[in-house]
Structure 1
Amino acid sequence: MQPLSLPPRLLMGPGPINCYPQVLSAMSTQLVGQYDPTMTSYMNEVMDLYRQVFKTQNQQTFLIDGTSRAGIEAALVSSVEPGDKVLVPIFGRFGHLLAEIAERAGAQVHTIEAPWGEVFDPQQIEDAIKKVQPKLLAIVQGDTSTTMLQPLEELGEICRAHDVLFYTDATASIGGNPFETDKWKVDAVSVGLQKCLGGPSGSAPISMSERFVEVVRKRHHVEAGIRDAHHEDAGGERIRSNYFDLSMIMDYWGEERLNHHTEAATMLFGSRQCAIELLREGQDQVIARHKQAGDAMLSGIQAMGLQPFGNLKHKMSNVVGVNIPDNVDGEAIRHILLNTFNIEIGTSFGPLKGKVWRIGTMGYNARQDAVLHTLQSLETTLRRAGFALPTGAAVDAALDAYGSK
């Protein structure tokens, strides 16, 4: 029954990361009632802020209360009904997650796979769309399991040409890499806060195009038993989840404020501040800061004689994969970094488990001192474990990347 007492960790893994102090401060704010005019005005402000974050004019832009996976589930369970075909291009662990959630929603899931460390060419995806003729394309933009960033710029046009809905999970990439909802013709996107947005896990911003909203609304009319002329072509299956029913959540965030759940006010305050921090600094500036930090980390890793994982042409700017040398105990190194230097870096999943470290530079931690401290600590830990490397080269390379003299 003692007060919380956590070690002062520097979270340099693939997420979560250390929060912006302003976000933590916002989340300590006292509550008001969920229909208090002050609260509903902040809900409206959050919708407007995240339209700017997503670079969209979509009216239906708001928060799903839950982790980033809640946003994924809401998008898929509300748009996909049993028997619908869904195409999921998989290039890492989180593509498998999209496939599983779509399958649980009753979809006929079709997948194509790229080797871990690579991404898809748009033509590969279009060829699969022509073959499968899906209702929905579901793809991850940035997959932290592989550190790869899937190009999305051409996919929206491809989906429109074949009358396919286009959904993407951009949790790991938003804020640290470009994302253009309207320009890229994305029909639905959901994210989390715990990566480049610099907040805690627990809220999932989402934005939906009118095309996507129409599909969701038709499902709602089926549920309500409405069969007017406009909706008589609606599908025959109600949305299986109450909590993740986007039609109901839209009504809750809309002018009618129809009760659906009690808004997670503390997470709303944190989500609001995450958006403010991004927009106040400037989205282009934040993306540039992430790129600079990521480039510096990569330069330091290479200067140590370590080999980065995957196709660097398609690496996310905010996380780097590092091949663990054959003569190094990767978990022992992580243990020492955590318990001696208070620095957390990540391992990986699936075929990369135990073979790759993942080192992130995200949000509040995408800054020079965090990069240098991590590189110096990793170098010291490796050197003391018997790994031969040039002393000081990693920090020097990172400083050079930052343009420091």
Structure 2
Amino acid sequence: MFIDRVEVEFTAGRGGDGCTSFRREKFVPRGGPDGGDGGKGGSIVFEARVGVNSLAAFANRRFFRAEKGRHGEGSLRHGRKGREMRLYVPCGTSVIDIADGFVIKDLTTPGETFVLCRGGRGGHGNARFKTSTNQVPRIHTDGEPGEERHVVLELKSIADVGLIGKPNAGKSTLLSRISSARPEIADYPFTTKFPNLGIVDVDQERSFVTADIPGLIEGASEGIGLGHEFLRHVERAGLLVHLVEPTPVDGSDPIENYVAIREELRQYDESLADRDEMVVLTKSELDLDGEVFSRMQQYFTDHPVEHTRELFSISAAAEIGLRDLVEAIMVRVAARRQQMLEAGEELSPIREVDVPAESKKKRRVPPHKLGPTASLSNDHQARDIPEMWGKQSPMGRTIAPPETSEGNRPRDTSDEQP
């Protein structure tokens, strides 16, 4: 199930209370205070991870609470801190405060973490309050409550290409032909009810991510139809591929449909109207004489735009023109990625295997197991290593070469008188 917007309440763990205790042991008079501190409450941490494609883990759970810290005990025993609650979200998730409506954090980079709620600090035991003038303190402090947040998690898919167009324009069919995604396909409008992501492999070294956005209709920016719920997924797409049906079932004009969708994008976000696009005339087998294609070319000539716009004609069902379209999209995507690298931005990995594995922390090696002494044993002494001859041993003696074949050790004459 695809979920791209949820409303959840998060509460970090409360800190444990301090302890009031005194040392009571036989033959130990005036033992003094020994109450330990309480443990810190667990925090709630978000982490963006490749491979998590939906917010479905938060759909059926309204409240998330981290573990509390344990209370302090006698004998100066401090309470255990609460476990950290780490929650994984898709890349492109925005954390929005529901009270003020501002974006707290936008998680776009794989592995990026964010502490949403910090756990409460633990209370102090009475041992903390011992002074020269107050040697028998009978007070302690309680743990502090953890932070609370009422937020909205909103997913904006990170895709290189966004497929847009009227319902039944052939977006899902095109996605199923050029990628391994298998969206629902039928001969009626609004078959796609949620965005579908697919990875298009051009060759062994080149690939890009495509998002199939549910069909847009006139008035989508105002909440009409399904598209208004998913227009946010187009915001992060660097290239828009606008699919136009040459002979719509409702008898509408293809150019008017194209203009209507462009107007809805402009009303939703002004920047979307200026984004690079590729206009694709689908179901080319229905436009045998190329009349609609010629009309579209003439319209683009009469109505120039500031951004880059290209026109293609394909048939996804007959697999006509797909290779040229995919290659053209890859060229545009590669150029945008190069611009991002030159601007100092990082490229998001496409697959989970592309994420570099975390290097394990190396264990500290004792000094005697490093260098020439690493191979020493009862059968292999320091005098058997030529690099060690003439050096000082830990006992302060000079390491000499091993005994000769006659069984005589070379005599050290450095201290003899002339």
**For this structure pair, what is the TM-score category when the shorter chain's length is used for normalisation?**
under 0.3
Q: Normalising to structure 2: TM-score of the pair? A: 0.22
Which structure has the highest strand share of the two?
Answer: 2
TM-score (norm 1): 0.22
Higher gyration radius (CA): 2
